[in-house]
Amino acid sequence: DEQMGGYGRHRKAYNDPPSGSTGAQHLAAELKLDFERLWVRNLGRDDRVISDHGKEARFPFLDEDVVHLLSSRSDGDGNDDDGGLPLDLICDMTLPPGVG
């Protein structure tokens, strides 16, 4: 969700960007912030809960290659020479909630 715009706040960031920013740029910034906080906000808690039940967590979407591909996304700023996926291929905010 943090990497692919899966939360309602991501849709809000896309649909209601601050002045001087496009929806795609604001969404890309929000996704970057979410990913930077992921280690503190989510993974520590998840690891404690899962290990308390004698299990070990696996996070396939945090594989280095997956993270690199998703974090090199193009944010629609016209500077698309980074080889990243266009943001609208990762999360299509024109689709209804729960679909895009």
pLDDT per residue of the chain (100 residues) written in tens, 0 to 9: 888 888 889 999 999 999 999 998 999 899 989 888 988 888 888 999 999 999 998 889 889 988 888 877 665 555 555 556 677 778 888 888 887 6
Beta bridge partners of 74: 86
Using the structure block, give the residue that is written with the tokens 């690891």.
Answer: 47
SS3 of residue 15 by DSSP:
helix
What is this structure's pTM? 0.74
Tell me how long the chain is: 100
CB 59 within 8 A of CB 44: no
pLDDT reported for residue 13: 92
Q: Decide: helix, strand or coil at residue 86.
A: strand
Q: What SS3 state is found at 7? A: coil
pLDDT at 6: 87
